[in-house]
């Protein structure tokens, strides 16, 4: 059975694990990959440094660190400007965007390192490695097959202490 486990913030940091994510961006002939064109139409949506990690095609480069909501692929497709939009476009170019955004962003809550970018005719696959500390809800397994779910992470200064005044890493329910 799973018991509740309480750990110190220090223990949560020590129990950091690596995760590998594979993010896939499907390609089709209508998609245009062009960093500068994307920046021209949609640049205000992203952090200033968002485009620094992309190559000229708007695809994230290997070995860079990506942060939550960063662009991995900045793509565009031509929009069909119809009816009222066409009229608005004649009045003001800024009102009618000739391109629609098709983007892939980093949706995880932790920064990650881009380990590989593999491009084929049909897709771009991006491998991202993260290092994530233990979180509430994560499982811990002991040496003898006992398991526990982290119910709470307590700041070190609030945790129970041993006789030397050091915070205890882990509390198990019995």
Least confident of 71-80, 86-95, 111-120, 164-173: 86-95
Mean pLDDT, residues 60-87 taken together = 85
| 27-47 pLDDT per residue, tens | 999 999 999 999 999 999 987
Lateral strand order in the sheet of 17-26:
17-26, 123-132, 112-119, 65-66
Q: Identify the pLDDT of residue 81.
A: 60
Query: Where do we find the tokens 């968002």?
Result: 50
Q: What angle do CA 8, 14, 18 make, to 5 degrees?
A: 130
Backbone angles phi, psi at 147, to 5 degrees: -125, 150
């Amino acid at each position: 059975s799973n018991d509740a486990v309480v750990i110190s913030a220090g223990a949560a940091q020590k129990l950091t694990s690596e995760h590998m994510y594979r993010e896939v961006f499907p390609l089709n002939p209508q998609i245009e990959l062009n960093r500068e064109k994307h920046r021209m139409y949609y640049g205000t949506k992203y952090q200033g440094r968002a485009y620094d990690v992309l190559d000229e095609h708007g695809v994230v480069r290997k070995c860079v660190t990506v942060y939550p909501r960063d662009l991995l692929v900045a793509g565009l497709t031509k929009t069909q400007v119809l009816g009222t939009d066409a009229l608005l476009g004649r009045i003001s170019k800024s009102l009618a965007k000739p391109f629609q955004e098709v983007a892939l962003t980093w949706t995880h809550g932790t920064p990650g390192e881009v380990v590989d970018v593999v491009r084929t005719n049909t897709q771009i696959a991006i491998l991202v490695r993260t290092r994530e500390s233990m979180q509430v809800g994560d499982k811990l397994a002991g040496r003898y097959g006992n398991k526990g779910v982290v119910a709470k992470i307590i700041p070190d200064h609030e945790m129970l202490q041993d006789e030397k005044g050091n915070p205890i890493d882990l509390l198990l329910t019995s």
